[in-house]
Structure 1
Amino acid sequence: MTHDSTKFNLSPSDELDEFDPLADGADDEDADAADGLAAAPGSAEGALAHASDNGRPAPADERPAEERTADLLASMAPRRKVLLSILAHCFEPRPVAQVNALVDELQQNNFSVYSAANLCALLEKAGALERVTADGQPADDVESEPRVVVVDGVEYLEAGDPVEVCWLATDAGRAAVEADKPLERLRDLLDHDAAYLPIYKRILALCAAEGGAKTPDINAAVDNDLLVQKPRFYAPHFVDKLEKCDALAWQKAWVVTEVGRAGLEMLADVVDKPANGTKTPATADEKE
């Protein structure tokens, strides 16, 4: 029996174009963050991970909630934006199901090993979230009143409807949201990496186009430039830094956020002259 190799389809697949190596890296970072939380005595998971020699749990972390929350956000860098979005959403009491739906939406294009319940539990342990009723009362202080039912003339007590539990940001959680200033982080990044301003401008311009930019397109626009040869850097290095400043977001392609558009305005006077024949991408305005 012979095989006809002409029947194989060797054309590029659209699925390959959507492959994003940084997304895989984010999963690894999530796993590393989980290990870090378990290992760091001051982290939200520290009290669970560190036990004394007799097997008893270690004393609870008595640091201020603000400090524990900051530690959690630093340890969970890949989930920082999701954690802060949860806190911002919970400035008023929000039903657990509503918060879960929000997290599912936020992580739709950015898979994580952490579920909504996991993330909320970490925020609660850090002192950034608390469980309350719909009117803001501590949920633990409210008990469901039993109902009296009559069956064949005999009265019985039946469990009442459970109290709806909501999540509410604490003062420490609110402070964390208010202290988060991604535009300032981006400005600091551009000041620190001044030698690579043309690279940052090029990436932001690519991602500002309609539909954003695929990872291979960004790689092709950056990796051969003389600016990134010594020391050797690749496009994902810069994309990762921009994402951590909330300037880029992954939505099946890299797209600019409002922070990213502000970054393009900061870089308006930067002259981008790619080396080695790398073509400068057209901006969204130029394409129109």
Structure 2
Amino acid sequence: MIASIFVKDARLRPPLRILVYGIVLICLTYVLATALGAVCASCLASTQPGALAAQMLVGVCTVALTTVWLRRRLDRRSVASLGFAPRGPWLRFFAIGVVFGAAMQTLAVAIEAVSGSAHIGAHASLRNDLQLLPLMIVVLLGAAFTEELSTRGYVLQNLWEAWGEKPAVVLSAVLFAAIHSYNPHLREQMWLTWAGLCAFGIFAACSLVWTGSLWLALGTHAAWNLFEGPIYGLPVSGLLLSPSPVITVSVSGPSWLTGANFGPEAGVSSLLALAIGALVLRTLYLGGAFRDQADTREAYARA
């Protein structure tokens, strides 16, 4: 009787799996980060491209190892069901996601520009673009992969198994916002920042539900951050990642619109862009654009 509180169908209950996942992730991150710090002490705190690449490598290794191991051993579920199986039109879904991420971030900047809150400045030299962009693309793709695999991969799937689709979408979005709690400038307008982060989390989770995979979410996430930072030179969730952006956008309008020091995620401009993007994505879904998806879901996600 007592065992049934913790175990169902000979598996640990999903909320407890999430707890184990978090503990293992924290412990492994500490070990790998300590090893990185021993080799390069400045790599842990710097936002220079080389240091970010080292941090990204630690993050990818930590999340990938933890997620695959626990999905197989603890959940006893298919790793493919997490949403990153290279099957079906996965590359097309990823490309669609890149378009969405770039378009929504550009729309947010356009909203600020039309209102007089943002101004397009200088363009970086082509040489600087070619030097920095490839590395930043890899860094931001790796960062997006770790967040998607953990929050909308492992955690969302277990929430879905425990309580169903809609609670899983909402709770995973709240968790996504929570993991950014210690980012710089988050508390300057906390509620609007949380709203923006949750909105992105809901958009990405809905893309998983509608496409059956995380490829579109990955493309959106990586492109959103790429255009926000290295392309437009704006803060990426409070972090200044690009000393030499392709286009310099100066922001001077109200913080409730622009997000100020945290970046567009903390502003109404991104909420509007995400809402429009979600409507377009929903229209594509209802029109059958994602019908040819490869179905790798577990039984609980098909009900």
With normalisation by structure 2, the TM-score equals 0.24
With normalisation by structure 1, the TM-score equals 0.24
Greater RCO between the two (CA within 8 Å, min separation 6)? 2
Quick check: which one's strand share is greater? 1
Higher Rg: 1
